[in-house]
């Protein structure tokens, strides 16, 4: 046995006496992992204890002599925190908490924070199950929070931990998800909103829309939508970016042809009340057992607008698409009528990210004072239970901050490791009440070190977005609560030419010779700028109001006495 593996064996001997000392954590969550290089399917199972802030994770791989279970903030193996388990040439078990110092294979951490619960193998599979605290205060360990974790699994047959591409599996996970609800009504009816063999244009970006009738019942009776799932057409799955379903007012003329969502047909933009949606990586979504989206009465929408964003960057011709969303609804009503509020930055070039930025933060402000103003009557407080975060390719983190009287009081959703390819509706740990008059601030942190020009807000995947969808009750007919910053203030701070219009200010920003100094000035200007608040009613009305900047602080790290440094 070489010195490296001998040291590992000594370390393992230290770990062995405490195996099994932890209380049992059930593993109710599971996902499969697949690789384009190999037909094998891996199974990852996990469970956690929120009160104790502990997690157990199990990986099942095809029969192997060793397996590494790695956790990465960005999907790179050399930035991973990992647990390594296996057997040496003498069939003695090896296990350690490790990291990579430059080159594979990994080396043990000085602080061993993973505990081995199971390491076993048979003729067909090898199993590694481990336990750890969410926060270990070891700089080599990834903190487990309300963030996306890129899981990397590597396994092999040899005794030198040789890295083979076909045995490397990657997949994003959200470990702190809640259980799917098993409450199944006696009557549940499926219904589909989808395209029918739509010929996808040979363009980088297409937003295709059409109107589809809601399900009809005679007599008209109230029902609740309680679940929805994507209909992914296998022929176009690599082109479909997102699918959104919007409720329409009942005063429009509806037709079935497909058109440009943001073209000359203004009927499409009059249907802006989000009901639900799907984006890359999304799965089936069950509403909480006390919530449902109301349909079926005379007051409810008779039609929806389906919007599908196609990103055909490879200009593939002749692709027909029948993607969409399947809903499940029931006459067995739930306690609360649920709605979805879109908030964040209005998708418009006033949203900009300079090139060469390591982390540039952009902000969208929702002033809920506008909601009763636009409706003309008092509005009950909102109760938020779930959320969906959405950005494009530069976004690395999203926070939805909740303010009251100008003071930050909590979170309505966050992900410091946002993954564009893993956009999933997530539950908050509990219900959060938003009082009318509270402020909601959406922050997106972007990295543009690989871009040469300014990235502006816009519909293309290569443009940027920064929005959050909040699922709440009781529902009101409000579509969105956005803002755009005072771009003239940014121009002034950067000492640019005087601009008479917002488009002049956008052109000025596009012409800046960006460096670290100008990026820093722009960041300060964005943080301190006032916002023009925009609120959209289901029927398309706006209220505009200038709102002052809110005090912004960076996320507070978990309090550790000190971090272990190797």
As a dihedral over the C-alpha atoms of residue 288, residue 289, residue 291, residue 295, rounded to 10 degrees, the angle is 120
Do residues 462 and 393 make contact, with C-beta atoms less than 8 angstroms apart?
yes
* Catalytic residue (one of 48, 207, 363, 473): 207
Out of 13-27, 157-171, 290-304, 540-554, which region has the weakest mean confidence (pLDDT)? 13-27
Q: Would you call 390 a catalytic residue per the annotation?
A: yes
Residue in 87, 88, 143 with CA at minimum distance from that of residue 113: 143
pLDDT digits (tens, 9 = 90+) for 480-529: 999 999 999 999 999 999 889 999 999 999 999 999 999 999 999 999 99
SS3 511: coil
* Beta-sheet pairing, 336-337 with 291-295: parallel
* Catalytic residue (one of 224, 309, 336, 390): 390
Question: Cα-atom radius of gyration of the chain, to the nearest Å?
Answer: 25
Partner residues linked to 206 by β-bridges: 310
CA–CA separation, 317 vs 315, rounded Å?
6
Q: Would you call 403 a catalytic residue per the annotation?
A: no
Across 197-263, the runs of DSSP E, i.e. the strands, are 198-199, 205-213, 223-231, 240-247, 259-260
What is the mean pLDDT of the segment spanning 547-558? 88
- Buried b vs exposed e over 55-91: b needs ≥16 C-beta within 10 Å? bbbbbbbeebbbbbbbbbbebebeebbbbbbbbbeee
What is the mean pLDDT of the segment spanning 130-158? 95
pLDDT digits (tens, 9 = 90+) for 206-243: 999 999 999 987 678 999 999 999 999 999 999 999 99
Q: Given a cut of 70, is residue 12 above it in pLDDT?
A: no
pLDDT digits (tens, 9 = 90+) for 66-103: 999 999 999 999 889 999 999 999 999 999 999 998 88
SS3 550: coil
pTM score: 0.91
Domains of the chain: 3-173 (2.60.40.1210), 180-336 (2.60.120.310), 338-559 (2.60.120.230)
Do residues 463 and 348 make contact, with C-beta atoms less than 8 angstroms apart?
no
List the structure tokens of 175.
Answer: 């470990």
């Amino acid at each position: 046995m070489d010195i490296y593996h001998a040291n590992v064996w000594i370390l393992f001997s230290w770990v062995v006496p405490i195996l099994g000392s932890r209380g049992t954590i059930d593993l109710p969550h599971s996902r499969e992992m697949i690789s384009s290089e190999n037909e094998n399917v891996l199974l990852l199972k996990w469970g956690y204890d929120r009160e104790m802030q502990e997690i157990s994770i199990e990986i099942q791989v095809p029969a192997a002599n060793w397996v590494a279970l790695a956790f990465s903030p960005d999907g790179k193996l050399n930035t991973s925190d990992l647990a390594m388990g296996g057997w040496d040439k003498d069939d003695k078990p090896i296990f350690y908490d490790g990291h990579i110092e430059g080159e594979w294979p990994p080396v043990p951490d000085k602080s061993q924070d993973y505990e081995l619960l199971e390491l076993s193998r048979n003729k067909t599979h090898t199993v590694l199950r481990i336990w750890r605290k969410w926060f270990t205060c070891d700089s080599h360990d990834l903190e487990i929070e309300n963030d996306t974790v890129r899981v990397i699994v590597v396994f092999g047959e040899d005794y030198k931990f040789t890295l083979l591409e076909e045995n490397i599996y990657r997949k994003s996970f959200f470990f702190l998800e809640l259980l799917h609800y098993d409450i199944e009504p006696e009557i549940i009816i499926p219904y589909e909103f989808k395209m029918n063999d739509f010929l996808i244009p040979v363009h980088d970006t297409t937003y295709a829309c059409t109107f589809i009738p809601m399900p009809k019942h005679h007599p008209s009776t109230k029902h609740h939508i309680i679940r929805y799932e994507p209909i992914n057409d296998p022929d176009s799955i690599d082109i479909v970016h997102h699918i959104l379903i919007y409720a329409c007012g009942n005063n429009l003329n509806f037709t079935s042809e497909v058109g440009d969502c943001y073209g000359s047909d203004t009927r499409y933009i009059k249907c802006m009340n989000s009901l639900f949606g799907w984006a890359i990586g999304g799965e089936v979504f069950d509403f909480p057992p006390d919530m449902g989206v109301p349909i079926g009465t005379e007051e409810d929408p008779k039609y929806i607008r389906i919007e599908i964003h196609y990103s055909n960057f490879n200009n593939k011709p002749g692709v027909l698409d029948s993607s969409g969303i399947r809903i499940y609804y029931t006459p067995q009503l739930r306690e609360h009528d649920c709605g979805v509020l879109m908030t964040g930055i209005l998708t418009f070039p006033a949203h900009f990210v300079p090139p060469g930025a390591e982390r540039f933060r952009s902000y969208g402000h929702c002033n809920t004072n506008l909601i009763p103003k636009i409706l003309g009557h008092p509005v009950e407080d909102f109760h938020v239970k779930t959320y969906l975060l959405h950005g494009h390719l530069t976004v690395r983190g999203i926070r939805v901050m909740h303010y009251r009287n100008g003071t930050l009081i909590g979170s309505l959703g966050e992900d410091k490791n946002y993954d564009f390819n893993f956009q999933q509706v997530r539950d908050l740990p509990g219900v959060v009440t938003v009082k009318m008059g509270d402020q909601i601030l959406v922050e997106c942190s972007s990295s543009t070190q690989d871009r040469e020009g300014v990235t502006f807000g816009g519909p293309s995947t290569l443009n940027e977005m920064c929005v959050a969808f909040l699922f709440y009750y009781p529902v009101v007919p409000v579509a969105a609560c956005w803002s755009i910053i005072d771009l003239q203030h940014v121009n002034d701070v950067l000492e640019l030419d005087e601009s008479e219009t917002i488009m002049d200010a956008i052109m000025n920003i596009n012409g800046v010779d960006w460096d670290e100094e100008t990026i820093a000035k722009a960041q300060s200007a964005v943080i301190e700028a006032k916002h023009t608040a925009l609120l959209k009613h289901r029927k398309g009305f706006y209220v505009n109001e200038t709102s002052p900047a809110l005090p912004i602080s960076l996320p507070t790290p978990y309090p550790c006495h000190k971090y272990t440094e190797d």
